[in-house]
Chains A and B, each alone.
Chain A
Amino acid sequence: AQTVTQSQPEMSVQEAETVTLSCTYDTSESDYYLFWYKQPPSRQMILVIRQEAYKQQNATENRFSVNFQKAAKSFSLKISDSQLGDAAMYFCAYRRLQGAQKLVFGQGTRLTINP
């Protein structure tokens, strides 16, 4: 079974600085999808960024980018120019390409932005 591990329960960063959240996963499959979701205090889950495993190029979305290391099974999220609105729980998630297409979530990292 696939597992997703986020080893940082909490992280904090100064406003306008850069922070990287870590995520590793375990799978025997070669094709899959990876996601970062954000859950602000409102509890609404919001998709931040996604990566297809067959793509070597790291995904970027404005201030958010990932470092996808397929061989190492690592998928970290970098947030540049951190803003107060970035404060939230961040969840890394894995999804198989075929078959059961459910999301497997990591434990989450709580990100605090210090003004």
Chain B
Amino acid sequence: GAVVSQHPSRVICKSGTSVKIECRSLDFQATTMFWYRQFPKKSLMLMATSNEGSKATYEQGVEKDKFLINHASLTLSTLTVTSAHPEDSSFYICSARKAGGALIQYFGAGTRLSVL
């Protein structure tokens, strides 16, 4: 149990377009989901915390208008990179925590975004 599916696994887009990444908890309800960004050979940087039915909490330095997060249901959160530019190219990872304040975060397999 506790599977998190992230889609797509890889996306290539032109500069100026928007890209949506989905994160789904397949076999559990997730009241809280997290979005991370990982640069090559670097650690995971938390971008935002997403709570179902409310606005996401963004980390300092993350542009909320550029990285739109929606958590409309207990099993789905989406990250939309708006007007993507080459510097947004990165590996994006989501994680989900079971409802009820569970301790463990379960991670998706990540999405590699390449902006041309």
Q: Which residues of A contact B (CB under 8 A)?
A: 33, 37, 42-47, 50, 91, 95, 100-108
Contact = CB atoms under 8 A, between A and B. Distances in A.
Given A102-B46, A106-B43, A107-B42, 4 more contacts: A45-B93, A45-B107, A101-B32, A103-B95
B48 to A, nearest CB: 10
Contacts of B93: 43, 45
B43 A108 contact: yes
Given A45-B93, A45-B95, A103 B43 contact: no
B contacts with A: majority SS? strand
A43 B110 contact: yes
Instruction: Report the 7 A-B pairs with minimum CB-CB distance, sorted nearest first.
Output: A45-B107, A43-B110, A105-B43, A44-B109, A105-B44, A107-B43, A108-B43
Contact of B43 (A42, A50, A91, A102): A91
26 contacts: A33-B103, A42-B109, A43-B91, A44-B109, A45-B93, A45-B95, A47-B104, A50-B103, A91-B43, A91-B44, A95-B103, A101-B97, A101-B101, A102-B34, A102-B46, A102-B49, A103-B44, A103-B46, A103-B105, A104-B46, A105-B43, A105-B44, A106-B43, A107-B42, A108-B42, A108-B43
A103 B49 CA distance: 11
A37 B95 CA distance: 13
Interface size class of B (residues with CB under 8 A): 10 to 19
Contacts of B95: 45, 103
Contacts of B34: 102-103
Contact of B110 (A44, A50, A103): A44
Given A33-B103, A102-B49, A43 B109 contact: yes
Nearest to B6: A44
A37 B107 CA distance: 10
